[in-house]
C-alpha cells in the first residue's frame, strides 16, 4: 500500500506521467537482514572494499534513506485467476487487520480519507489495478457489520485479506485481537454523498489529460471525454486517474462516466483547473436514473469500455464535506437504451 499521498506531478513526456509512490506503513526488515548477511560475507572473504560499501549503505538506511525494495514485488496470480473487484451479491470469507492512513487518501488518490474514517485497503487481486476504487464493502466480524469505502491497496495482502481502518476494525472486533475472521460483500448502489466530482490532475494540459472521478458509489467501468463530436475512452491507471495521453483539448469538457452495473451519467462544463475539485450537478444514479444492466461487469483489468448507456437526472444537492471549489454545469437529462450485455 502507499503512504496515501497523491501521485506526483507528471512530467511532459510518455510514461514519465506515471506517479511514484513510497511504500506503505510497514518498514520492511528484509534489507537490514540482507545488509547484515552481506557484511559478514565480505568480512569472511577479507574484502575490505566490499565491507566498506556495505557499512556505507547500512549507515544510509539508519539515516533514513529508503531502500529500493521498500514495496514487495507484485504477486503472480494463480493460473485461471483474474484480478477483479468484489461485485454483486457474492459473500466472501477472509480475515481483517487494520492500519491508519493518517488522514491521507490512499492509493486511489482521494484528496483525503473519508470524514467518518471508515475505509479499507485490498490486496492486488481485489484492488484490480484501481478497478475497486470508490466502491463500498459491508464487512461482518465478531461484533457486527461496518460499511467501508475502498480507498487503498495492500500489496502484501492475499485474496480475502482486508486491511481496515482502525476505526472500522473497532466496529467489528476488539482491536487487541489484531486479526479476525470476517465475511464481506460488495454494496450495490450505496447512498451517494452527492453529485459526481471531477479533479483534473496537476500537470495536465490540452496535450495530456488525466481526471479523478469521485462520489460515484459503485466501482467505475469507463470514463469518456467528448471531443470533436465523438467519445474518447480514457484508460484507468492503478492510482485511479483516468488518462488520455495525447490530451483532450483545452476544455471545457463533457465527461461520461459508466459504473460496473451499467449506470451512466454525463457532466458538462468540466474545466482545465488542475488540482481543483469540481462538483457537477449530476448524480451517478438515484431518483429518475435509468435501469442498470442485470449482470455486473467483472473486468480482469482496469481498462475502460466505451459502450453507450444512459444519462441520469441531474441533482443540485451538494455532497457534504466535499472539498469542492468549482461547480460544473450538469448535462441534460437524456435517455439512451442500454445495449444487451452491458456490464
pLDDT digits (tens, 9 = 90+) for 249-307: 999 999 999 999 999 999 999 999 999 999 999 999 986 454 444 333 443 333 333 33
Q: Which residues contact 173 (CB under 8 A, 6 or more apart)?
A: 96, 141, 142, 143, 180
Cell of 42: 565480505
Which pLDDT score is estimated for 85? 87
Integer Cα distance of 139 and 255 in angstroms: 33
pLDDT above 70 covers a percentage of the chain that reads 59
- pLDDT average, residue stretch 313-336: 37
How far apart CA 291 and CA 343 sit, in angstroms, is: 12
Cell numbers 510518455 correspond to what residue? 14
Average pLDDT over all residues of the chain: 73
Q: Is the pLDDT of residue 3 over 60?
A: no
Residues 176-209 have pLDDT tens digits of 999 999 999 999 999 999 999 999 999 999 999 9
pLDDT above 60 (res 320): no
**Closest by CA position to 144, among listed 172, 178, 179:** 172
Q: Is the pLDDT of residue 9 over 80?
A: no
Nearest CA to 269 out of 310, 320, 314 is that of 314
pLDDT tens-digit readout, 19-78: 433 334 333 333 322 333 343 333 344 444 443 443 343 333 333 333 322 334 444 444
- d(CA 103, CA 111) in angstroms, rounded, equals 9
State residue 175's pLDDT score: 96
Residue 102: CA count within 13 A, CB half-sphere: 6
- Alpha helices by DSSP H, listed for 153-271, are 166-172
**pLDDT tier at 82 (50, 70, 90 boundaries)?**
low
Residue 308 backbone dihedrals phi, psi, to 5 degrees: -75, 150
pLDDT for the residue 1: 46
Cβ contact 113:151 at 8 Å: yes
Rg (CA), the chain: 22
Give the pLDDT mean for 68-92.
62
Question: Which whole number is the average pLDDT over 94-110?
Answer: 95
Q: What is the rounded average pLDDT of the residues 203-216? A: 97
Averaged pLDDT for residues 334-343 = 32
pLDDT above 60 for 135: yes
At residue 311, does pLDDT exceed 50?
no
Query: Residue 48 belongs to what H/E stretch?
Result: helix 48-62
Query: What percent of the chain lies above the pLDDT cut of 90?
Result: 57
Amino acid at each position: 500500500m502507499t503512504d496515501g499521498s497523491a501521485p506526483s506531478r507528471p512530467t511532459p513526456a510518455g510514461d514519465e506521467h506515471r506517479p511514484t509512490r513510497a511504500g506503505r506503513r510497514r518498514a520492511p526488515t528484509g534489507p537490514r537482514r540482507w545488509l547484515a548477511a552481506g557484511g559478514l560475507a565480505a568480512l569472511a572473504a577479507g574484502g575490505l572494499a566490499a565491507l566498506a560499501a556495505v557499512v556505507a549503505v547500512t549507515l544510509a538506511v539508519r539515516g533514513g534513506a529508503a531502500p529500493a525494495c521498500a514495496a514487495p514485488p507484485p504477486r503472480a496470480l494463480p493460473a485461471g485467476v483474474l484480478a477483479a473487484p468484489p461485485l454483486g451479491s457474492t459473500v466472501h470469507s477472509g480475515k481483517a487487520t487494520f492500519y491508519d492512513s493518517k488522514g491521507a487518501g490512499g492509493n486511489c488518490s482521494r484528496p483525503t480519507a473519508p470524514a467518518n474514517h471508515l475505509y479499507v485497503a485490498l490486496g492486488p487481486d481485489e484492488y484490480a489495478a484501481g478497478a475497486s476504487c470508490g466502491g463500498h464493502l459491508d464487512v461482518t466480524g465478531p461484533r457486527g457489520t461496518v460499511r467501508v469505502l475502498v480507498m487503498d491497496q495492500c500489496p502484501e495482502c492475499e485474496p480475502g485479506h482486508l486491511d481496515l481502518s482502525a476505526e472500522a476494525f473497532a466496529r467489528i472486533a476488539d482491536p487487541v485481537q489484531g486479526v479476525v475472521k470476517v465475511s464481506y460483500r460488495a454494496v450495490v448502489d450505496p447512498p451517494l454523498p452527492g453529485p459526481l466530482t471531477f479533479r483534473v490532475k496537476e500537470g495536465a494540459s490540452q496535450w495530456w489529460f488525466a481526471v479523478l472521478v469521485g462520489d460515484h458509489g459503485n466501482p467505475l467501468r469507463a470514463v469518456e471525454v467528448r471531443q470533436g463530436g465523438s467519445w474518447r475512452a480514457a484508460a484507468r491507471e492503478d492510482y485511479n486517474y483516468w488518462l488520455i495521453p495525447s490530451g483532450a483539448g483545452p476544455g471545457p469538457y463533457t465527461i461520461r462516466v459508466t459504473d460496473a452495473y451499467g449506470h451512466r451519467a454525463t457532466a458538462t462544463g468540466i474545466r482545465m483547473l488542475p488540482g481543483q475539485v469540481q462538483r457537477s450537478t449530476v448524480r451517478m444514479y438515484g431518483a429518475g436514473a435509468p435501469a442498470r444492466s442485470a449482470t455486473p461487469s467483472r473486468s480482469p483489468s482496469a481498462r475502460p469500455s466505451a459502450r453507450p448507456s444512459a444519462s441520469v437526472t441531474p441533482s443540485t444537492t451538494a455532497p457534504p464535506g466535499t472539498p469542492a471549489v468549482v461547480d460544473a454545469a450538469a448535462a441534460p437529462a437524456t435517455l439512451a437504451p442500454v445495449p444487451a450485455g452491458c456490464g
